[in-house]
Amino acid sequence: MIDVSQESPKPIAPGPPDGFLRVRMLLAYDGSTFRGFAENVGVRTVGGVLREALETILGHRVAIVVAGRTDAGVHAWGQVISFDARAERLHPEAMRNGLNSMLAPSIAIRRVEIAEPSFHARFSATTRTYRYRILNSHTPDPFLAGQVWLVRDDLDVATLSAASELFVGTHDFTAFCRRAKDRPDATMVRRVDCVGWELEDHPEGRLLTFGISASAFCHQMVRSVVGAVVEAGLGKCTVEDLTEALLHTERALDGKLGSPSGLTLWEVGY
């Protein structure tokens, strides 16, 4: 049995400085043309493009806090950020309209609001939900190419469902995460609240959407879980193999990952 208290405690976030207000922003983006969210010198990232646009509108430097740092090629529908803005420069609706004019079509600002001074996009979050889409078809769909993982061989849906249910509950996900080099001793214990699959017909096959909600996720956890579950759905491993993998600290199934194109940060709960 794993003690839930092993999960890292959340730090207390300081409030904004005098003359500033804490801002909460809900946004969506197509991650296909970005090298992830976090700023990185010399490459185009969601965070970098967004910060530059915010600083243009506000006229001062902005430090963005993000609920979930998505990797290169990963999308978001319900990403949340927080930052501090000078009170006299902050006009939420005008900011939303201005940013959407500057950032469309890759980034869309869905909502801007003044938050409580203690709000922190990352530390205040209680749940995160991801959706992962698979096109199970022998024929690619050019209109979905950047939004799905194309799996050509037939998947057994009953096995997908049984395999994914293994991950519900509190587990040490070391075998299904990529450990950060700067945090070698960080815990990989996470609580997964629910998982599920939805099926849709497609002219050339089936669209499968996997949903997973957890208190938090470690790096590449969703893509690793999906990759392992798909291996089971293809008959390349068994549900028992995945059960065994959860008990070990080696990367499961040689670290098989689902394509980043199929992954979307769907919602963050507070």
Q: How far is CA 48 from CA 24, 29, 63, 103, 268, in A?
A: 17, 13, 10, 12, 21
Q: Tokens 């040689």 sit at which residue?
A: 254
Euclidean distance between the first and the last CA atom of the chain, given in angstroms as a whole number: 27
Cis upstream peptide for 105 (omega within 30°): yes
| Coarse DSSP helix, strand, coil percentages of the chain, rounded to the nearest 5 percent | 25, 30, 45
Q: What positions carry a catalytic annotation?
A: 71
Which string of DSSP letters, residue by residue, matches 195-241?
Answer: EEEEEEEETTEEEEEEEEEES---TTHHHHHHHHHHHHHTTSS-HHH
d(CA 47, CA 137): 34
Angle at 121 between CA 116 and CA 127, to 5 degrees: 110
